[in-house]
């Protein structure tokens, strides 16, 4: 596209400027330039959407166990849509990302967690070590610009432990042709990860002109989605990796909050492994919620909630038992945030699969209500429960990207009501309803 625009602009300006130097000389170059601008606008104007310029945003920060924004507590009701960059890289699907961010904003949701990685897969951002696909990076630029336009902040996950979208295995393949152990793998590809982080954090957005590390639209960075290292259940390998990588990120970007991306399991040295973990296997995954989250450069703790998947091996567990587990799980981590960490705790994924044998849509509502009530009660008490992000939301006609947890929230009135009521309750706590037109329209009509 750039080459075409150069050939268009140079023609009228340089040709007329050289041929007519006297008399009405200045007029003709200006006329030629104006004609060129009009032509470009009419031909290509829709490629550069106009984003409204509003008041400058501040970065979300933390003060002890609470997120703060502009001196006020910032409580999060948010969601996951992992697919925003991937869809924005495809012209025919790009509008889905914009529609999702707009819909989330209208529901009063404040933070969206999404992938800022795609390593060596379809629509890859990083096609090989240190080599990035510019069109996909521009797709991420678009996502960030759209989020700002709709007053949504982003929690950007930088690497995946799982195989989807490349994941840790892709880095291992790049780092070593034959890695001997998973423990060595973690350290072997730290250099490749550091290169990725440097490129990502210093990226200059082609839409907004703002470097990522200077953009408050980004709520926080997440080091890795669900890190595990089962060949070192002691947790030492992951602990060392978190310490190294978090320090590196903070050496480049001191503006943004940083979290690990943990599921929240307690490791073998933590007594809570016996009383809070869903089962014995959870202590053998190489992570520990408390020690991993205590790292000085980590600003807040992250926790996931999947009672049906985690308790599936325990026979005769009713749905009520699973909700009891969720309550105990959340309260334990909020307690740790207050007494052990002095940091906020954000429940960055929670959901219920529709593949369960006894699944009923009402069960999903009960899970959402349980999570929301605990977050709200913590916020009321000025506790460490910073918020929750449901997994996950879509707009219509996205079956190819959906999983057994995804929902289109307005297709079920009771679910939509639960989500929007939580948005209003948390916004009211921080006195933020009058700050947003969407919140005013959403919340004032509920009163």
- The answer to whether 308 and 350 have CB atoms below 8 angstroms apart is no
Sign for the pseudo-dihedral over CA of 170, 154, 104, 135: negative
Catalytic site residue from 349, 421, 435, 441: 349
Q: Return d(Cα 278, Cα 400) in angstroms, integer.
A: 31
DSSP letter for 225, please: B
Q: For 206, what's the count of Cα atoms within 13 Å in the CB-facing half-sphere? A: 11
Q: Is 177 annotated as catalytic?
A: no
Phi and psi torsions of 157, nearest 5°: -90, 130
Catalytic site residue from 185, 222, 226, 263: 226
C-alpha 317, offset from chain centre: 32
Listed residue (325, 238, 247) closest to 290, CA to CA: 238
Count other Cβ atoms within 10 Å, centred on residue 78: 24
**What count of residues does the chain have?**
447
Listed residue (257, 255, 290) closest to 66, CA to CA: 257
Listed residue (83, 65, 84, 85) closest to 75, CA to CA: 65
Q: Return d(Cα 447, Cα 123) in angstroms, integer.
A: 45
Distances (CA, A) of 94 to 33, 79, 142, 445: 32, 19, 9, 32
Q: Is 146 annotated as catalytic?
A: no
Which residues are known catalytic residues? 226, 349
């Amino acid at each position: 596209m750039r080459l075409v625009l150069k050939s268009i602009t140079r023609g009228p300006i340089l040709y007329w400027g050289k041929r007519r130097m006297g008399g009405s000389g200045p007029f003709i170059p200006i006329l030629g330039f104006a004609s060129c601008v009009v032509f470009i606008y009419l031909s290509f104007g829709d490629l550069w959407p106009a984003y409204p310029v509003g008041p400058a945003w501040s970065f979300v920060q933390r003060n002890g166990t609470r997120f703060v924004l502009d001196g006020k507590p910032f409580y999060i009701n948010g969601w996951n849509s992992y697919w925003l960059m991937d869809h924005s890289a495809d012209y025919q699907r790009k509008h889905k990302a914009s529609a999702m961010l707009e819909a989330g904003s209208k529901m009063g949701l404040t933070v969206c967690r999404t992938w800022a990685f795609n390593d060596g897969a379809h629509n890859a951002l990083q096609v090989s070590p240190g080599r990035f696909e510019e069109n996909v990076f521009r797709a991420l630029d678009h996502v960030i610009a759209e989020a700002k336009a709709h007053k949504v902040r982003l929690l950007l996950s930088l690497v995946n432990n799982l195989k989807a979208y490349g994941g840790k295995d892709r880095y291992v393949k790049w780092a070593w042709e034959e890695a001997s152990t998973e423990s060595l793998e973690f350290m072997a590809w730290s250099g490749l990860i550091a290169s990725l982080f440097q490129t990502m954090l210093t990226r200059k957005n082609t839409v907004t002109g703002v470097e990522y590390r200077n953009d408050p639209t980004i709520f926080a960075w997440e080091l890795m989605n669900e890190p595990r290292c089962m060949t070192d259940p002691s947790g030492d390998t992951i602990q060392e990796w978190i310490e190294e990588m978090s320090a590196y990120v903070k050496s480049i970007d001191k503006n943004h909050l940083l979290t690990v991306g943990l599921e929240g399991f307690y490791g073998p040295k933590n007594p809570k492994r016996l009383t809070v973990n869903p089962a014995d296997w959870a202590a053998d995954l190489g992570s520990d919620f408390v020690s991993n989250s205590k790292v000085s450069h980590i600003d807040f703790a992250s926790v996931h909630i999947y009672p049906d998947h985690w308790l599936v091996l325990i026979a005769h567990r009713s749905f009520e038992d699973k909700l009891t587990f969720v309550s105990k799980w959340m309260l334990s981590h909020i307690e740790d945030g207050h007494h052990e960490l002095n940091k906020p705790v954000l429940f960055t994924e929670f959901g219920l699969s529709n593949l369960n044998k006894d699944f009923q849509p009402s069960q999903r509502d009960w899970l959402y209500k349980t999570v929301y009530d605990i977050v709200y009660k913590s916020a009321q008490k000025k506790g460490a429960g910073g918020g929750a992000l449901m997994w996950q939301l879509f707009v219509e006609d996205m079956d190819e990207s959906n999983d057994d947890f995804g929902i289109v929230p307005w297709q079920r009135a009771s679910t939509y009501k639960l989500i929007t009521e939580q948005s209003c309750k948390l916004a009211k706590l921080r006195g933020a309803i009058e700050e947003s037109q969407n919140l005013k329209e959403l919340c004032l009509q509920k009163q």
